[in-house]
Structure 1
Amino acid sequence: MSFFKNKSSQNSQVNESEQLTNDINKNIQMIHKHLCQTEDFKTKHMTFNNKKCAILFLDSMVNKENLQSNVIGPIIEMKSREIESVVKATELNFSSEISEVGTRLLEGFCTILLENDAIAKSVFVGEIAMRSIEEPANERSITSSHDGFVENLSTNILLLRKRIKSPQLKVKYFTFGKISNTRVSMVFLEKLANKKNIEEIERRITSMEVDQLLSSGEVEQYIEDNPYSMFPQMLTTERPDRATSYLMEGKIVLIVDGDPRILIVPITFFAFYQSPDDYNTRWQISTFFRFIRFLSFIISISLPAIYIAIVSFHSEQLPIGILYSIKVSLEYVPFPPLLEAFAMQIILELLKEASIRLPTPIAQTIGIVGGLVIGTAVVQANLVSNTMIVVIGLTAIASFVAPISGMGTSARLLGFPVMIAASCFGFFG
Structure 2
Amino acid sequence: MTEQQDQQQIILTKLKNSFYNSADFVAKPISWWDNEIAILCFYSSIVNKADVERIMYFFKEHIRDDNLYWGESVYTTVIPLDEKQLAKFLCDGETVVVRLKTKEMIRISLPEMAYRQTDEPTSEHVLQGSREGLVENFDVNLSLIRKRIKSHKLVVKQKSIGDETNTTVYYFYMADLVDEEALQLIEQRLDNIKIDILYSVGQLTDYLEDHVWSPFPQLLKTERSDRIAAGVLEGRIAVISDLSSTALIGPVSFFTFYQTPDDFNGRAITGSFYRMLRIFSFILAIFLPAFYIAVISFHFEILPLELSNQIKTDINNIPYRPILEAFILELTLELIREASIRLPTAVGQTIGIVGGLVIGDAIVNAGLVSNMMVIVVAFTAIGSFVIPSTEMNGTVRIMRFPFMILASFFGFLGIAFGAAILLIHLLNLTSLKRPYFTPLIPFLPKELYKIFIREPFFKPGKQVKSFSPKEDRKL
Pairing partner for 1:120 from 105, 117, 121: 105
- Taking the aligned partners of 1:86 and 1:122, their CA distance within structure 2 comes to 9
Check the 8 A contact 2:75/2:106 in 1, yes or no. Answer: no
Amino acid at match of 1:275: T
Check the 8 A contact 1:24/1:113 in 2, yes or no. Answer: no
Check the 8 A contact 2:333/2:356 in 1, yes or no. Answer: no
Alpha-carbon offset, residue 194 of structure 1: 1.0
Name the counterpart of 1:8: none
Check the 8 A contact 1:34/1:102 in 2, yes or no. Answer: no
Q: Any idea what the Cα deviations from partners look like across 1:181-227, whole Å, max 9, x if unmatched? A: 10000100011011111001110111011111111111001121111
Name the counterpart of 1:262: 247
Name the counterpart of 1:253: 238
Gaps of 5+ in 2: 1-6, 415-475
Find the residue that maps to 1:123 and give its secondary structure: strand
TM-align CA RMSD: 1.7
Residue 403 of structure 2 is aligned to residue 418 of structure 1: yes
Residue 94 of structure 2 is aligned to residue 109 of structure 1: yes
* Correspondence list, 1:320-339, <5 A: 320-339=305-324
Residue 28 of structure 2 is aligned to residue 44 of structure 1: yes
Pairing partner for 1:399 from 374, 377, 384: 384
Name the counterpart of 2:264: 279
Amino acid at match of 1:272: F
Residue 179 of structure 2 is aligned to residue 194 of structure 1: yes
Residue 73 of structure 2 is aligned to residue 73 of structure 1: no
- Taking the aligned partners of 1:29 and 1:84, their CA distance within structure 2 comes to 30
Alpha-carbon offset, residue 332 of structure 1: 0.6
Q: Quick one: structure 1 residues 29 and 102, their matched pair in 2 at CA, closer, same or farther if it must change by over 3 Å? A: farther
Amino acid at match of 2:216: F
Indicate the larger mover: 346-355 or 274-283: 274-283
Q: Any idea what the Cα deviations from partners look like across 1:339-379, whole Å, max 9, x if unmatched? A: 01111111111001100000112112211222111000111
Gaps of 5+ in 1: 1-22
Residue 408 of structure 2 is aligned to residue 408 of structure 1: no
Name the counterpart of 1:54: 39
Alpha-carbon offset, residue 230 of structure 1: 0.8
Name the counterpart of 1:312: 297
Find the residue that maps to 2:349 and give its secondary structure: helix
TM-score by length of 2: 0.82
Amino acid at match of 2:195: V
* Correspondence list, 1:129-208, <5 A: 129-208=114-193
TM-score by length of 1: 0.91
Amino acid at match of 2:209: E
Find the residue that maps to 1:309 and give its secondary structure: helix
Report the count of equivalent residues.
Answer: 406
Check the 8 A contact 1:30/1:98 in 2, yes or no. Answer: no
- Taking the aligned partners of 2:397 and 2:326, their CA distance within structure 1 comes to 12
Identity of aligned residues (%): 38
Alpha-carbon offset, residue 83 of structure 1: 5.5
Q: Any idea what the Cα deviations from partners look like across 1:100-132, whole Å, max 9, x if unmatched? A: 112111111222133522112121222132101
Residue 218 of structure 2 is aligned to residue 233 of structure 1: yes
Amino acid at match of 1:308: I
Name the counterpart of 1:17: none
Name the counterpart of 1:3: none
Amino acid at match of 1:80: R
Q: Any idea what the Cα deviations from partners look like across 1:307-331, whole Å, max 9, x if unmatched? A: 0000111111111121111111101
